[in-house]
Chain A
Amino acid sequence: IARQRHQKRTPDFHDKYSNAVLASGATFSIAVWTYVATQIGIEWNLSPDGRVTPKEWRDQ
């Protein structure tokens, strides 16, 4: 029995805009969080291992 296509479904809001919403939401979210995490002076207190050059601390 041949499967008949009923009427073509009119695209709903998600068909029209969901790709744009997903892409722009992801871009905005990643961009602004990268900025906040790195540029505004938040101290993450990461381990000094591999990152910090030790400096002499004893008073001369």
Chain B
Amino acid sequence: MLATRVFSLVGKRAISTSVCVRAHESVVKSEDFSLSAYVDRRDHPLPEVAHVKHLSASQKALKEKEKASWSSLSMDEKVELYRIKFKESFAEMNRGSNEWKTVVGGAMFFIGFTALIIMWQKRHVYGPLPQSFDKEWVAKQTKRMLDMKVNPIQGLASKWDYEKNEWKK
């Protein structure tokens, strides 16, 4: 095809970006990162470039056949054309995974590791508990609070049965 006939198609926007990219390579070599990339994304359903950049001989023949009537294409050929243009289908790109189990399991592992740190701290960092936490001290303290009727409406003393001398059930 003459160059002029190619350029006459540009005004009609009849050439895909993939073709433009390939044609431009004869003028200047572009780095891959500066060109549009193919992506499988829900919000970018029609990427500028096709998935398969370099077609095999049979694929090139198929692209030629695509230019004729599509009713002459078999199902397998249509799927092959799809797979040339796209890497993953929407169903494939949207598939769920088991990654959440790895994430949650990993997080719980590190939470468990934190408990080991606290074990070490209890042994090597924390001081002794004050005597006011001894069992006997707490028992006496509790009776004194009940004798004082601490929080008698909804709090501690309200939970004690003063007639039966026991905690309310």
Chain A: residues with CB nearer than 8 A to chain B?
4, 6, 12-15, 17-26, 28-33, 35-36, 40-43, 45, 47-50, 52-57
Interface status of B61 (Cβ within 8 A of chain A): no
Q: Please, could you name 20 A-B residue pairs with CB atoms under 8 Å apart, sorted by A?
A: A14-B97, A17-B102, A18-B99, A18-B105, A20-B105, A21-B101, A22-B108, A24-B105, A25-B108, A28-B109, A30-B112, A35-B115, A36-B119, A41-B122, A48-B142, A50-B159, A52-B138, A54-B139, A54-B143, A55-B139
Question: B residues within 8 A CB of A52?
Answer: 138-139, 142
Taken together as a complex, chains A and B put the C-alpha atoms of A21 and B120 apart, in Å, by 25
> B129 to chain A: closest CB distance in Å?
6
- Chain B facing A: main interface SS: helix
Question: A residues within 8 A CB of B141?
Answer: 57
> A29 to chain B: closest CB distance in Å?
4
Is the beta-carbon distance between B142 and A54 smaller than 8 angstroms? yes
Taken together as a complex, chains A and B put the C-alpha atoms of A2 and B141 apart, in Å, by 78
Taken together as a complex, chains A and B put the C-alpha atoms of A54 and B156 apart, in Å, by 12
Question: A residues within 8 A CB of B129?
Answer: 41, 43
